[in-house]
């Protein structure tokens, strides 16, 4: 597949759909979590209002260049991740730029936003941000280990690093999904997925009760609004990777919405049931429970 | 002045000695300016609606009224339904609820937190203590009228007000914001000297810059 100019508006359309879906879905998930606590929860459009309000604030201060670039890096991470994997398999309109990048590039983008955020929050000078970043990076690093092993296992299984080819190999019905052909890799990756979604039990990084919300402590107005936009894009972009690698991808939008929602719901369900881990507990948990599964997946393949 | 706020010489990790003046180096003390509604009327109206429907409360419990805010987060009253959320940092909040009596020691922290909030910002006085001192009317150590020190947008009366009263207060505040009258931050900037003189008249150990944000 070659690059054509028409793919740029097509990709922007994908981005538009994903942003709106992201805002509505995260609000819906928050409502589900609220119902577990017998609350009504926020209105479904609350995330839009919060974002408009933050863009509409009149004053903002900066702590330097990296402080500006932190949210920009984070948004780049989310958008880049989305752009280099096929959102809808087999569709010319919604395959984005997936011919240009492979799985390794996607792995880089998963980490890119976190690193940008670390530099930006570090420059804000708030000690809470520094503590949050330290916790966040150590937790995300250990959570990435089983995921990386699972990705290698899948790449070995299909003998390719191209996401499109991996989805293509799973198109023969539900039993051809990686979920059934390589269950240990999927198990390791899904445990690692919990760690990267910033939900309980792995949300000590941004826990408002423990330290004033960690890395974004100093971020406000349009900086924060940009990060909120990314909060809508990034989880979906990451789920798209999981969906493509392990759950057979999606060939149309309804299937896409359903699969993304169910994968997200997995982390939400775990989140409302289990209390928060401290950071050393979560690191130990990943190393003890998720990492052996990843190693097993590599050995069995 | 406290020891850690005095000018001192520090040796950096590379061995270079330099002078640190905490008050000017660590704080920005440029006085606040009036921030005009910079957009056309329609857009400003839209933003005012968004501001009113997304009130982020600074989680700073100053007096006994703070206990009335907890039921608002839990199933019985659930203020999240009305777009009211609690934030842990002043940088991200735009509604300061002064919940009850305010000792002069707390007033100092309240001023610093208020000044760090991005404009436009709103202040709600909760309980009779913020209106006329309430049961602390003759105390030597609490302030009596909150609007002498900070621009207050709305008061919720009672001692203590029930959570329902607080919800009604949120609705009243939303009306004020939607009508375009929630300009407390600009009022503070316009009458900056008056507010500062009042604040300094009760705070005896003023060891911070005039404006720190």
Please, which residues have CB within 8 angstroms of residue B1's CB and are 6 or more apart in sequence? B207
Kindly determine whether residue A57 and residue B80, on different chains, have CB atoms separated by under 8 Å: no
Is pLDDT at B2 greater than 80 in this prediction? no
Annotation: CATH topology of B40-202: Rossmann fold (3.40.50)
Chain B residue with Cα closest to A129: B89
Residues of A in contact with B46 (CB under 8 A): 52
Which of B75, B91, B119 has the CB atom closest to A37's CB atom? B75
User: Is the pLDDT confidence value at B115 over 80?
Assistant: yes
pLDDT along chain A (301 residues), means of 10: 79 92 93 91 92 88 82 88 85 75 82 82 81 86 91 91 88 88 93 86 74 76 88 90 90 92 93 88 92 92 81
Higher pLDDT, B157 or B27: B157
Structure letter (DSSP) for residue B103? B
Residue B67 has a pLDDT of 87
Q: Report pLDDT for A64.
A: 79
Q: According to the model, what pLDDT value does residue A117 have?
A: 82
Q: Report yes or no: B179 at the A interface, CB cutoff 8 Å.
A: no
- CA dist A7 → A97, A287, B11, B130, B131 (Å): 8, 41, 56, 60, 62
Interface contact flag, B89 A213, Cβ < 8 Å: yes
Nearest beta carbon to residue B91 from set A37, A56, A217? A217
- Whether the predicted model's global pTM rises above the 0.90 cut: no
Picking from B35, B54, B85, the nearest residue to A59 by CB comes out as B35
pLDDT at B97: 92
- Closest alpha carbon within chain A to B78: A39
- Give the strand pairing for B154-156 and B17-20: unpaired
Q: What ipTM was assigned to the predicted interfaces of this complex?
A: 0.86
pLDDT computed for residue A211 by the predictor: 61
Residues 6 or more apart whose Cβ sits within 8 Å of residue B25: none
Nearest CA in chain A to B52: A53
C-alpha torsion angle, residues A114, A115, A119, A124 (rounded to 10): 10
Domain ranges of chain B: 40-202
Cβ distance of B81 and A42 shorter than 8 Å: yes
What pLDDT, on the 0 to 100 scale, is given for residue A291?
A: 92
pLDDT of residue A295: 93
Residue B22: is its pLDDT beyond 80?
no
How many beta-carbon pairs below 8 A join chains A and B? Answer: 85
DSSP A5-70: TTHHHHHHHHHHHHHHHHHHHHHHHHHHHHHHTT---S-TTHHHHHHHHHHT-S------HHHHHH
**Which A-chain residues 224-243 have CB contacts (< 8 A) with chain B?**
224
- Interface probe for B, chosen from A36, A41, A59 (most Cβ of B below 10 Å), is A59
- At B33 the three-state DSSP class reads coil
How many CB atoms lie under 10 A from the CB of residue A187?
20
Q: Give all strands of the β-sheet with B95-99 in edge-to-edge order.
A: B84-87, B55-58, B95-99, B122-126, B154-156
CB contact under 8 A, A39 and B78: yes
What pLDDT was estimated at residue B175? 95
Cβ atoms < 10 Å from Cβ of A122? 18
Render pLDDT for B120-155 as a digit per residue (tens, 0 to 9). Answer: 899 999 989 999 988 999 999 999 999 999 999 999
């Amino acid at each position: 597949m070659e690059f054509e100019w028409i793919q740029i508006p097509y990709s922007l359309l994908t981005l538009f759909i994903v942003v709106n879906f992201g805002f509505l879905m995260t609000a819906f998930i928050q409502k589900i979590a609220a119902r577990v606590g017998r609350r009504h929860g926020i209105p479904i459009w609350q995330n839009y209002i919060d974002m408009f309000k933050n863009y509409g604030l009149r004053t903002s201060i900066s702590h330097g260049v990296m402080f500006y670039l932190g949210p920009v890096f984070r948004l780049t991470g989310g958008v880049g991740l989305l752009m280099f994997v096929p959102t809808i398999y087999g569709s010319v309109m919604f395959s984005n730029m997936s011919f240009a990048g492979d799985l390794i590039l996607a792995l880089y983008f998963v980490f890119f936003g976190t690193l940008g955020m670390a530099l930006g929050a570090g420059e804000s000078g708030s000690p809470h941000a520094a503590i949050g970043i330290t916790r966040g990076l150590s937790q995300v690093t250990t959570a990435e280990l089983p995921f990386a092993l699972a990705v290698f296992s899948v790449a070995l299984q299909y003998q390719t690093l191209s996401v499109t080819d991996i989805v293509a190999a799973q198109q023969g019905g539900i039993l051809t999904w990686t979920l059934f052909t390589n269950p240990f890799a999927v198990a390791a990756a899904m445990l690692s997925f919990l760690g990267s979604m910033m939900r309980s039990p792995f949300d000590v990084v941004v826990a408002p009760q423990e330290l004033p919300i960690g890395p974004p402590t100093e971020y406000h107005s349009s900086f924060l609004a940009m990060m909120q936009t990314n909060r809508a894009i990034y989880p979906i972009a990451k789920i798209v990777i999981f969906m493509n690698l392990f759950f057979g991808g999606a060939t149309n939008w309804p299937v896409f919405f359903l699969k993304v929602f169910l994968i997200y719901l997995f982390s939400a369900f775990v989140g409302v049931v289990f209390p928060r881990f401290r950071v050393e507990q979560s690191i130990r948990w990943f190393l003890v429970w998720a990492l052996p599964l990843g190693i097993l997946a590599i050995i069995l393949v | 002045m406290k020891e850690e706020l005095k000018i001192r010489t520090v040796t950096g990790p590379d061995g270079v000695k330099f002078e640190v003046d905490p008050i000017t180096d660590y704080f920005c003390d440029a006085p606040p300016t009036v921030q005009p509604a910079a957009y056309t009327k329609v857009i400003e109206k839209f933003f005012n609606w968004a501001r009113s429907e997304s009130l982020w409360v600074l989680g700073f419990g100053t007096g006994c009224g703070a206990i009335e805010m907890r039921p608002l987060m839990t199933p019985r009253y659930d203020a999240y339904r009305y777009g009211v959320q609690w934030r842990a940092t002043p940088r991200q909040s735009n509604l300061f609820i002064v919940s009850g009596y305010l000792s002069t020691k707390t007033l100092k922290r309240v001023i610093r937190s208020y000044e760090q909030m991005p404009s436009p910002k709103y202040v709600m006085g909760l309980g009779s203590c913020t209106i006329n001192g309430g049961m602390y009317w003759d105390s030597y150590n609490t302030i009596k009228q909150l609007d002498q020190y900070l621009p207050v947008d709305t008061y919720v009366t009672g001692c203590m007000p029930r959570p329902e009263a607080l919800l009604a207060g949120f609705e009243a505040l939303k009306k004020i914001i939607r009508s375009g009258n929630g300009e407390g931050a600009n009022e503070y900037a316009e009458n900056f000297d008056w507010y500062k003189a009042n604040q300094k008249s009760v705070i005896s150990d003023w060891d911070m810059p005039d404006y720190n944000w």
